[in-house]
Amino acid sequence: MTETLWLLIEVGVKALFIISMILSAAAVLVYSERKVSAFIQNRIGPNRVGPVGVLQPFADVLKLFMKEDLVPRAADRRFHSLAPIISLGVAISVYSVIPFAHYVQIGERIIYMGIAPNVNVGYLFILALTSVGVYGVTLAGWSSNNKYSLLGGLRSSAQMISYELSMGLSIIGVFMLAGSFSLNDIVLQQEGLRWNIFLQPLGFIIFLVATFAETNRAPFDLPEAEPELVGGYNTEYSGMKFGMFFLAEYANMATASAIISLLYLGGWQLPFSYNLIGLEAGSVSLAIVQFLCFLLKILVLCFFFIWVRWTVPRFRYDQLMNLGWRKLLPLALLNIVLTGIAMMIWG
């Protein structure tokens, strides 16, 4: 078989695996959110469909498939249908540059664990895609021809654009330390316990807060605030179109957790030398251990996202914008200056 054919098969298998993981992760996160929120609020949570309610997410999907797809008469049907596709498409596409482990060597062939994990502008690609993701929510609000939806879409566009600045500036310190935009290079720079959460604590806090705003998660879920906007940008959506927005939200939460892990928590790196567990670089066993380590970090961060949602009350919109422009943006610039000074002093 030719090298091109091998490459196509390799990419196809990786893409199928990643899409399956995203869909499975969304179901797990929906169930986990319900159970964790029930625990926090002293309730029971799902306990009817399947053992301990584990089949509830699949019942929800079945119900959404059977729901009628209602479109307002005055809505723009083309953009009304396109908006959820953009949101879900962006959420899935981001995973193309995320490395889940380092590599596996089979004979002379080296297989890297990701669709395109060694792209030298990996995180810039993610920033570009997340910027496009704004259009999904904004178009959903505008095309619905509903004032509540329009306000939700406008809130989302202002919120995402505002916090993208702080988010982008907060990770410049990480790039300065790694000397690269490649996510694999950033992970390799954090070998051992040289995690960027210890080297860049201020940048980590800014990035974490900005991530909540970028994913529209509470306490920054202003685009879909029920008390004043009914449901915000997705008010006029039903059936699987609504389900696609719902799936995109949880896919984005998993994506955010993966990116935080890669940039600040060592990604797939173990906190100790591989020699201590007797595994060789490039072996399948080591790749599995690295993948499980990365997955564990993602799950812990996803739990943190859920915990914050059901613990911290929603911000007012003026508080949200004030935090982004007057607090996080200056602190992100300060972090760049401090990182430069530290690198000049300690090399």
Is the Cβ–Cβ distance between 247 and 88 less than 8 Å? yes
Alpha-carbon gap, residue 91 to 244, rounded angstroms = 10
Alpha-carbon gap, residue 1 to 61, rounded angstroms = 41
pLDDT per position as a tens digit, 32-83: 999 999 999 899 989 988 898 989 988 988 888 888 888 888 888 889 889 9
pLDDT per position as a tens digit, 199-218: 999 999 999 999 988 888 87
Tell me what pLDDT residue 257 has.
Answer: 93
Alpha-carbon gap, residue 122 to 101, rounded angstroms = 15
Task: Taking residues 131-144, report their average pLDDT.
Answer: 87
pLDDT per position as a tens digit, 222-252: 888 777 877 788 888 888 888 888 888 888 8
Q: Which residue has the tokens 């982004």?
A: 324
Instruction: Inform me whether the pLDDT recorded for 339 exceeds 90.
Output: yes
Is the Cβ–Cβ distance between 184 and 117 less than 8 Å? yes
Q: Which residue has the tokens 């401090």?
A: 338
Tell me what pLDDT residue 38 has.
Answer: 92
Task: Taking residues 164-182, report their average pLDDT.
Answer: 90
Sign (positive or negative) of CA dihedral 316, 127, 266, 328: negative
CA-based radius of gyration for the chain: 21
Q: Tell me, what DSSP letter sits at residue 314?
A: P
Instruction: Inform me whether the pLDDT recorded for 1 exceeds 60.
Output: no
Tell me what pLDDT residue 174 has.
Answer: 93
Is the pTM here over 0.75, yes or no?
yes
Alpha-carbon gap, residue 251 to 248, rounded angstroms = 5
∠ CA(44), CA(50), CA(55), 5° rounding? Answer: 90
Sign (positive or negative) of CA dihedral 23, 27, 33, 39: negative
Instruction: Inform me whether the pLDDT recorded for 167 exceeds 70.
Output: yes
Range picked from 91-100, 156-165, 335-344 for highest mean pLDDT: 335-344
Sign (positive or negative) of CA dihedral 322, 323, 324, 330: positive
Tell me what pLDDT residue 156 has.
Answer: 85
pLDDT per position as a tens digit, 189-198: 988 788 999 9
Alpha-carbon gap, residue 119 to 334, rounded angstroms = 29
> How would residue 92 be classed by pLDDT, with cut points 50, 70 and 90?
confident
Tell me what pLDDT residue 131 has.
Answer: 82
Beta bridge partners of 105: 110
More confident residue, 4 or 41: 41
Tell me what pLDDT residue 276 has.
Answer: 62
Question: 20: exposed, middle or buried (C-beta count within 10 Å: 0-12, 13-18, 19+)?
Answer: exposed
Q: Calculate what percentage of the chain has a pLDDT beyond 90.
A: 25
pLDDT per position as a tens digit, 259-311: 999 999 999 888 876 666 767 777 888 888 889 999 999 999 999 999 998 88
Q: What are the boundaries of each domain within the chain?
A: 3-346
Instruction: Inform me whether the pLDDT recorded for 347 exceeds 70.
Output: no
More confident residue, 173 or 222: 173
Cβ contacts of residue 104 below 8 Å, gap of 6+?
Answer: 110, 111, 113, 282, 283, 284, 287
